């Protein structure tokens, strides 16, 4: 899977996905915007949880609890972030 990051005219961000119908494990995550450098590794690991800015590739995480079937991928993303920008809340 390849991240599509556009360098042309800024566009509005995509809506944050919601997982209201999926079982969750009381896990939430946050990306520190001051630390994130837009490597996109988190998105490649858990594309349903992390959203990339179409302009600079910086990531944000979904709001709310992480679905149970995404937790292992999110923990992998936390470990693989070279900037240690992702924290579990
Ligand atoms: S891997 Fe880390 S630094 Fe890279 S986009 Fe994701 S949160 Fe940002």
**85 Cβ below 6 A of ligand 1:** yes
Say whether pLDDT at 6 is over 50: no
Contact assessment for residue 18 and residue 77, using Cβ atoms and an 8 Å cutoff: no
Task: Please say whether the beta carbons of 39 and 30 come within 8 A.
Answer: no
Looking at residue 26, its pLDDT comes to 84
Do residues 66 and 27 touch, judged by C-beta distance below 8 A? yes
Going from the Cα of 12 to the center of ligand 1, the distance in angstroms, rounded, reads: 20
Distance 39 CA to ligand 1 centre (A): 5
Q: Whose CA is nearest to atom 4 of ligand 1?
A: 39
Among 20-24, 34-38, 49-53, 63-67, which is the least confidently predicted range?
A: 20-24
Q: How far is the CA of 10 from the centre of ligand 1 (A)?
A: 20
Architecture field, domain 29-88: 2-Layer Sandwich (3.30)
3-state DSSP call for residue 29? strand
Of all residues in the chain, the percent with pLDDT exceeding 70 is 76
């Amino acid at each position: 899977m390849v991240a599509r990051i556009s360098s042309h005219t800024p566009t509005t961000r995509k809506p944050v996905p919601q997982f209201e119908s999926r079982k969750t494990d009381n896990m939430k995550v946050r990306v520190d915007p001051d630390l994130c450098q837009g490597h996109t590794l988190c998105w490649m690991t858990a594309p349903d949880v992390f959203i990339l800015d179409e302009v600079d590739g910086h990531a944000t995480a979904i709001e709310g609890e992480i679905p149970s079937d995404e937790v292992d991928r999110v923990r992998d993303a936390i470990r693989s972030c070279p900037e240690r920008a992702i924290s579990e809340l």
